[in-house]
Homo-oligomer: A and B are copies of this chain.
Amino acid sequence: MPAFEIPQIATVVGGHTTVHDDYQGGVEAIIRLDPEYPVETLQGLDAFSHVEVVWKMTRARPEDIELHARSPRNNPNWPATGTFAHRNHRRPDQIGISRPRLLCVDGRDIHVTDLDAVDGTPVLALLPWFEEMGPRGPVDEPAWVKEMLPNYWADSSARP
C-alpha cells in the first residue's frame, strides 16, 4: 500500500524534555507554527478551549514497530492486545494525537498545557477541537486502560 507525505507545519517548543509513560501533567509548552504560514491562519483559534495535535514520534525508531499482540506495558496482569489496540509508538504510523488545553495564541506561538509530546517534536496537523467530533453515544474501554493510566496526567514534578 502507498505511503503519504504529510508536511511538518509546526514544532513543539519547551514542555517535556524526556519521554515517559506517566506524569504528563502540569507542564506548559508552545506549538510554534512555521514562519511559512501567515499569522492569519491561526485567526480565531483562541476561541476554542482545546486543540487537536497530530505529531510525529521522532524519538521512536522504525524497529520499534511490533506487529503482534502483547500485554500493555508488558504487565502480565493485563491481556495481550494487538498493535492497533494500543496508542504507543509500536504502530506503523508512529504518530501521537493529543488534545491539549489552549492557553493563548501569541503570533505564531500557541501556548498549551497537557501536551504529551516532548520539546522539538514535529507537528503534522493542528485543528480546533469540535465537541461534535468527539465519540458519540456511550463510551467504554476495557479495565486495563483505567488500571494503566491513573498517573498519566499526574503532575510531572511528582515523577518518581
Contacts and interface: CB of A to CB of B under 8 A. Distances in A.
Interface of A: 1-9, 11, 33-34, 36-38, 40-45, 47-50, 52, 54, 56, 67-69, 79-87, 91-93, 95, 97-99, 101, 114, 122, 124-142, 145-146, 149, 152-153
A78 to B, nearest CB: 10
A47 B4 contact: no
Contacts of A40: 67-69, 82
Which 5 A/B pairs are nearest by Cβ-Cβ distance? Answer: A44-B81, A47-B142, A43-B82, A41-B83, A49-B140
Contact of A127 (B7, B91, B140): B91
A79 B46 CA distance: 13
Stoichiometry, as copies per complex, reads 2
Given A2-B8, A9-B92, A40-B82, 20 more contacts: A1-B7, A1-B122, A4-B6, A4-B122, A6-B93, A7-B93, A38-B68, A41-B83, A43-B69, A43-B81, A44-B142, A47-B141, A84-B126, A86-B127, A86-B128, A87-B133, A95-B124, A97-B125, A99-B133, A132-B149
Nearest to A153: B136
A32 to B, nearest CB: 11
Contacts of A137: 49, 101
B69 A44 contact: yes
A42 B130 contact: no
A71 to B, nearest CB: 10
A37 B92 CA distance: 10
Contact of A48 (B95, B127, B142): B142
